[in-house]
Structure 1
């Protein structure tokens, strides 16, 4: 009976599937972006309105970049593409859960989303609007993950060259 090496590890050391990042670290990195998303969707902190907004928007990605540069990994690209995908999914979930709450995204969707949804019949309009905004959220997550992945890969190559050279 073969037991996967991660199954013998305490939970805090188990790796997130398909990555070299511990599951807890992956979830913490995703969770760092949630406050800005929730507060912006509820219009508590308006986008691009204050230092607080920029702090909430930029600090999570600064932490991602620190992890990308400092943490050694055998799969740096996969680590951060997975992180970006999970971050995108977290954006989708928050946007959908808060869709109809107060001044949220459902009440103030982007003009491009409305233009897209207007191409559909009234019966499909809301679904098209939600699908469009979900697609944008996933592109934001994956794009951010790709940038962090490229930085992690560069750091990995640099570390490797220092050991080999």
Structure 2
């Protein structure tokens, strides 16, 4: 039978179990991962409706679907006093970007129909299948960047608002 390891003072080292990934995520980001996914999902209806051609830019419905989700993200971060609001909302934005990419990929053919986008210039003569792969990869990357930037902007606003509404005596 082996003895447990000892501290420099000669007392047994207590094993403290590491937190589960869900607990670690909540500690790091201030929200459970399911809440982060839920916030990101608020922005998905616009992706679907836009790609299906049911809404267009410049309409009130489109504007609401564009701006309400990030406003909700900011509200949640400020009201819940999330300690790392910027980081948390960047992650929400990244998850939104993943949903955005997935939505665009799934609805690609519906969105473009018989006239999918094509490359021009020196790449115009490339095989259409290769062009399709290139365009889809860049569209997915663009979606991730877009979501992350939206999250960063929302996070910066939330962090700024938190500084403004901090109660006196609190750091």
Shorter chain as denominator, the TM-score bin is 0.7 to 0.9
Q: Is the 8 A contact 1:117 1:128 kept in 2?
A: no
Q: State yes or no: 1:2 paired with 2:8.
A: no
Name which one, 1 or 2, has greater alpha-carbon Rg: 2
Q: State yes or no: 1:83 paired with 2:97.
A: no
Give the match for residue 35 of structure 2.
25
Q: Distance in 2 between matches of 1:115 and 1:16?
A: 46
| Match among 48, 72, 80 for residue 71 of structure 1 | 80
Cα offsets for 1:16-35 (capped at 9, x unmatched)? 58411122321221111111
Q: Distance in 1 between matches of 2:122 and 2:78?
A: 41
Gaps of 5+ in 1: none
Q: State yes or no: 1:162 paired with 2:130.
A: no
- Following superposition of structure 1 onto structure 2, how do residues 35-54 of structure 1 map, counting pairs within 5 Å? 35-48=45-58, 50-54=59-63
> What is the aligned residue count?
156
Gaps of 5+ in 2: 1-14
Change (3 A) 1:56 1:130: same
Give the match for residue 126 of structure 2.
121
Q: Distance in 2 between matches of 1:23 and 1:131?
A: 26
Q: Distance in 2 between matches of 1:57 and 1:141?
A: 12
Q: Is the 8 A contact 1:117 1:125 kept in 2?
A: no
- Following superposition of structure 1 onto structure 2, how do residues 106-145 of structure 1 map, counting pairs within 5 Å? 114-115=119-120, 118=123, 121-122=126-127, 123-145=129-151
Cα offsets for 1:95-128 (capped at 9, x unmatched)? 1111112xx1576667xx8448946722521111
Shift, 1:46, TM fit: 2.3
Shift, 1:7, TM fit: 7.2
